Amino acid sequence: MANGLDDVVAAETVLSDVDGLGGRLTIRGHSLPELAGRWSYAQVVQLLLDGFFDDLPGDVELAARLGQARSEVFERLRPMLPSLLSVDIYSAMRAGMALLPDGETLADALRLIAAPAVLTPALLRLRRGEQPLAPDARADHAGDMLRMLNGTVASPALTKALDTYLVTVCDHGLNASTFATRVVASTQAGLTSAVLAGLGALKGPLHGGAPGPVIEMLDAIAAHGDAASWLRDEIVHGERIMGFGHRIYRVRDPRADVLKAVVRQLGGEGDTGNRLAFAEKVEQAALDVLRAAKPERSIQTNVEFYTALLLEAAGFPTDAFSNVFAAGRAAGWVAHAREQQTTGRLIRPQSRYVGPMPDLVA
Ligand code: COA
């Protein structure tokens, strides 16, 4: 029995397919390159939720409803935000989301999807001593998130970059957080409880917690000066190289190429361009070191490597990178929760007991 449930099919889904050998991600019949950079996040939310709510509107109306949901989240949770800041920024966001009603309506779903995009900038502003900015319900979702963070309207290029990121990470098969979400949804708990399970799983560095450490790694390598020797040393000490490897992909994660292209478009001669040039060298060194250290595995670049560069360029601090991941993945979690609930079947696997048995008393 595999401890990590490798190759176990635990759900049937119409939502997404991860082809680990072909390096392809399909979302509801569309390939990732068809969606990323072409569809807005609101359109992809509509695509993912299609069929799971009787009152789901078309994509234009859905974008407006998502804006309204951002405003509702802000109004409901604004008074509580200062008290959440005693913990890290991800846990603070999660604590705020836990205060949303545990319902099943489309309005509940949209508030959960909107919440990370509202709470993250608000909490970051409070942490640096600034007042949170209210959402603009009519604005584009990604653009509004950036305005609420920085206080100024972001450039079309940066808005597009963040929107493309949110679309790129919106859903990804039965990853750890989506599985956790489906387990809780299968108990017929409400959508907030299900999404909170996903949030807990996403936090770990083996899942959504990797992009912050990617920046720390790039900075450490820049200070050290020799990428290959720094990376080899990490492997010798049993550390994992952040931004590389995947349970399903045996080839390069297709999301890495999408996000690298986005960073390149943002890049130019400035800081982002220099960061990208350096990161590309580190990437090549890491692939070489990993190939030499684990010749039996195919350990390739994953989504988190270029995520780190993109979110750094967008102005998010490293400890909020997973919050932004959650802002994209929330749509997938809600859709999977609804899909699981429609099966009506509790997820309840078995364990094999390998501990001691009680002494038999005669
Ligand atoms: N750095 C160093 N070694 C790695 C590695 C990495 N990034 N990724 C996998 N490996 C090694 C493991 O140590 C293990 O080696 P061992 O068999 O000698 O103990 C082996 O490769 C396991 O490979 P595999 O089964 O393909 O990976 P996994 O499913 O156990 O792990 C991850 C998948 C994502 C957890 C893993 O690749 C990882 O920890 N990556 C770094 C964190 C990261 O980027 N997470 C974001 C994922 S999108």
Per-residue confidence (pLDDT) for residue 359, from 0 to 100: 87
Quick check: CB of 190 below 6 Å from ligand 1?
A: no
What is the residue-level pLDDT of the chain in tens, covering all 362 positions? 578 999 899 999 999 999 999 999 999 999 999 999 999 999 999 999 999 999 999 999 999 999 999 999 999 999 999 999 999 999 999 999 999 999 999 999 999 999 999 999 999 999 999 999 999 999 999 999 999 999 999 999 999 999 999 999 999 999 999 999 999 999 999 999 999 999 999 999 999 988 899 999 999 999 999 999 999 999 999 999 999 999 999 999 999 999 999 999 998 767 889 999 999 999 999 999 999 999 999 999 999 999 999 999 999 999 999 999 999 999 999 999 999 999 999 999 999 999 999 987 76
Q: Whose CA is nearest to atom 1 of ligand 1?
A: 240
Do 127 and 249 sit in the same domain of this protein?
no
Do 180 and 324 sit in the same domain of this protein?
yes
Q: List the catalytic residue out of 72, 234, 283, 304.
A: 304
Q: What residues pair up with 24 in beta bridges, in sequence order?
A: 19
277, exposed or middle or buried, with CB in 10 Å at 0-12, 13-18, 19+? exposed
3-state secondary structure of 222: helix
Q: By C-alpha distance, which of 321, 344, 199 is closest to 259?
A: 321
Asked whether residue 107 is domain-assigned, the answer is yes
Quick check: CB of 256 below 6 Å from ligand 1?
A: no
Question: 302, 245 in Cβ contact below 8 A?
Answer: yes
Do 189 and 260 sit in the same domain of this protein?
no
Do 194 and 339 sit in the same domain of this protein?
yes
Mutate to test the pocket of ligand 1, among 231, 244, 307 (most ligand atoms within 8 A of CB): 244
Do 215 and 76 sit in the same domain of this protein?
no
Per-residue confidence (pLDDT) for residue 218, from 0 to 100: 97
Do 69 and 199 sit in the same domain of this protein?
yes
- Strands (DSSP E) contained in 49-114 are none
Q: Which domain holds residue 49?
A: 18-207+318-343
Asked whether residue 46 is domain-assigned, the answer is yes
Do 294 and 336 sit in the same domain of this protein?
no
Do 155 and 127 sit in the same domain of this protein?
yes
Looking at the CA of residue 6, tell me the nearest atom of ligand 1.
Answer: 29
Do 302 and 188 sit in the same domain of this protein?
no
Per-residue confidence (pLDDT) for residue 164, from 0 to 100: 98
Q: By C-alpha distance, which of 253, 274, 272 is closest to 262?
A: 272
Based on the structure, what is the number of domains in the chain? 2
Mutate to test the pocket of ligand 1, among 3, 206, 231 (most ligand atoms within 8 A of CB): 206
Q: How far is the CA of 227 from the centre of ligand 1 (A)?
A: 19
Q: How far is the CA of 309 from the centre of ligand 1 (A)?
A: 21
Q: List the catalytic residue out of 141, 172, 246, 336.
A: 246
Quick check: CB of 240 below 6 Å from ligand 1?
A: yes
Do 60 and 153 sit in the same domain of this protein?
yes
Per-residue confidence (pLDDT) for residue 269, from 0 to 100: 63
Per-residue confidence (pLDDT) for residue 1, from 0 to 100: 57
Do 218 and 269 sit in the same domain of this protein?
yes
Q: Whose CA is nearest to atom 47 of ligand 1?
A: 207
Q: What is the CATH number of the domain that holds 260?
A: 1.10.230.10
3-state secondary structure of 255: helix
Q: How far is the CA of 325 from the centre of ligand 1 (A)?
A: 20
Do 326 and 276 sit in the same domain of this protein?
no
3-state secondary structure of 209: coil
Catalytic site residue 141? no
Asked whether residue 235 is domain-assigned, the answer is yes
Unique residue bearing structure tokens 């392809």: 24
Q: How far is the CA of 235 from the centre of ligand 1 (A)?
A: 11
Asked whether residue 6 is domain-assigned, the answer is no
Q: How far is the CA of 298 from the centre of ligand 1 (A)?
A: 10
Q: How far is the CA of 239 from the centre of ligand 1 (A)?
A: 10
Quick check: CB of 206 below 6 Å from ligand 1?
A: yes
Q: Which of 271, 295, 314 is the last residue of a domain?
A: 314
Quick check: CB of 247 below 6 Å from ligand 1?
A: yes
3-state secondary structure of 30: strand
Catalytic site residue 304? yes
Looking at the CA of residue 303, tell me the nearest atom of ligand 1.
Answer: 48
Question: 326, 199 in Cβ contact below 8 A?
Answer: yes
3-state secondary structure of 181: helix
